[in-house]
Structure 1
Amino acid sequence: MAKIMVSTNNHLRIDSIYVDEAKGMIQGISDAGIIMTNVDYLDILVANTFLDLANLGNKFPEINMQNGCSSLISWGNATTNTSLNGKSVLSRHLDWTTNYSLINNQVIVIHFPDEVDEQDWLLIGFAGQISVLSGLNKSGVGVMQHMLSDVSAGGNLNMSYEPIWFSLRKAIESADYNQDGLDNVNDVRAIIENNMQGYAENYIITSVAPASCGHDSLIALVAEVSPASPKISFRYNSYPDSIPGDNLYAANYAIVRNNAMHFCNRYNAVRSKMQNGLLIDDELNWGIMKDFSSSCAFGANGNIQFMQYIPENNILNLAVHKTNGTQACETDSIVYDLNTLFQLPLSAKKNRFTQEISIFPNPFNDYISISFGNLCLEKLRITIYSIDGKKVYSNKMIKTADLKIKLENKGVYIQSIETEGRLLYTNKIMHL
């Protein structure tokens, strides 16, 4: 039933470019020789819209899955006289079901669009996602989705709702979505306002931009959206939400919608810990979220991802739930330099010998074969990079080679083949 619902625009409205992208993914999987029985592009669309489907699923009860989440944004006077010096920072928990398929397939996916009206962006999510649950763009705008759990309004059929994750992708993928000449949280507001019929499910959206954007309303935003009236409500730090200073916090209950001021245990714990809301650096922002807003803090399970984004420092700090059961809030995080993540020079260079050079198998385990056909080449070198640009393997090779390549982690890598410093060939390979 879910596949039927995403196959037309009657219930959920999915832009044709995303449908084509889903079809392209299936074609790419097939071309790579991977056999997936009874899986097609509609399955990808379902995976990217199932939160919306879940609420429409009141009509289709076999669809049922929800998430939690919370975010804390600090900037301006909150981070003045700290190492951030007024810059903005957002820390975010993704609390969800501890489903093995989710935990074992967590990814950062970086997009480098060719379209002139788009910009580089990335999502932090799960393999198969082409939409945004948590994401940011090269201009410094970040956006996160939560559930609005204390509002029970159900979406209606035949409303042609835009799936929330595709809305958020548009907001950060577009180069200045609202065409005001600026990149800030107003681009997120604009995409939400363009969906005046609301969304199929009840959601909270948080967004952050660099503090250099100027006015507070351009730096941080919380939106509460619903299929029922009031369908869209926005909150800024000027709203009397009991969070002091230049800080915004959101968990899963309505604050601004109908002036509900519904403070949960996490909300009360966070605002108490913040005291006057000043002198909050990145470590304190992270610490407040870890100790007072995570599932770890309340003895629960399901903290899948814990991340922090500092736009002006180009830093993404990320911890993820481990397959051994350790939650994200209990593990060490990895700091990613976004200047590095948004550089993929090998992918921008054209392969000179696409037809002659073949690499197999792909995906591979520890052995890979490379053939150069009839090309006469000398002084060849193969280099393999991790997706964040780190060199993980490099070796000289002969014309046709069977190589044993030991890589520490499974996943996607970038492989390049050079001769005397000239790039001959580059492609993506997957280590199993």
Structure 2
Amino acid sequence: MSEPEERVAPRRLLGLAVPALGVLAAEPLYVLVDTAVVGHLGAVPLAGLALGGTLFTLVSTQLTFLTYGTTARTARLHGAGRREDAVAEGVQATWLGLTVGVVLLLLAQLAAIPVADLLAGPGPIADAAATWLRIALCGAPMVLVTMAGNGWMRGVQDTARPLRYVLVGNVVSAVLCPVLVHPLGWGLEGSAVANLVGQTIAAALFVRALVVERAPLKPEPARMRAQLGLGRDLVLRTLAFQACFVSATSVAARTGAEAAAAHQVVWQLWTFLALVLDSLAIAAQSLVGAALGGGSARRAKGIARQVTWYGLVFGVVLGAVFAALAGPLPALFTTDGAVLAEIPHAWWFFVLLQPVAGVVFALDGVFLGAGDAAYLRTATLLSAAVGYLPLIWLSLAFGWGLAGIWTGLSLFMLLRLVTLLLRARSGRWAVVGATRAETTVG
């Protein structure tokens, strides 16, 4: 980068990142609680939760443009001094999320059983996953409304209220889950019901926030179509992620209940730490979008460099912490000796990838804030096709188990690291303008 760069005050960056961390960590932290509660039911329910939870994530996160695309658009408008237009983006994203969520709810009731059978093979794991999924996906509209709410609030640099809303919903779920699963005897179904209750509460709070803003609440199809235009590349990017992650869970399930359960434990920890690291990326996304919307490429580039170094340092620290916890931590999730014996086959990949993940997720946030979705799409599709997917299915064919699956994840992350560093160095992502996020940078 040849031109001088500006840095944002660390206090400002962390002031956005810390509340965002709470929002990002709340859901996977609840899933960890859920995993620990269900894990004491045995290997089959835990494996069913692993498969069902992965499918639920596939459905919901395939629409992450409701968060990240909305943040990119609203941040630029906010940076240009157009708050009312920024909030209007949130209204339309909420309508879009509600509409798509209702369609997904209806489709899930028809597709849950055949999809679970396809991925895990007919049997008790597939049956458990389908039962959990059909209940949990009743919350799809609420999940997507919450995504949209997080998106527009991040864009206007308000990360405090989303933290409160998400914490309320997840605390209620965390209290209900063990009560419904064990004392009331609802088993795996109790886990899904607790999840649904928390999602409904959080979504209601985000809708209330829009009402308080006194923004026009009428649906605007033209604005929603524009959001879908940016969302196209983000959907394809997310589809690459989910093809990999669902394949990994499917191969683990076909390897055996113990391997699937072990993969669930390590994968949920990976997801949790990915979102911890992503908190800096959320702050960068908001600040980079505002800088570019305000016409300052120099400031956007300074923030990009700053957040990348922070991500590397945090990744190193997290890797060291979880290396030290390799012995005692897995035992909190299951007492099954066979499952515990499988966990080390994935654990050390998980630990060593943390510094790489810190840089990758930081740069993801920068480019999402810049609206550089087309490049992210291409880089992710390439990395998945060359790295992750081949090794996952070779692991099934040659019996490499969890070590093969996690070797594929490692290659995937390293390829993404290289492509993102090259893009950062080029500077071509830093395109200024209040409405540039409505398109993508080539």
Whether the TM-score (by the shorter chain) exceeds 0.5 is no
Q: Which has the higher helix share?
A: 2
Give the number of the structure with larger relative contact order, counting CA–CA contacts within 8 Å between residues 6 or more apart.
Answer: 2
TM-score relative to the length of structure 2 = 0.23
If each structure's strand is expressed as a fraction of its own residues, which one has the higher value? 1
TM-score, normalised via structure 1 length:
0.24
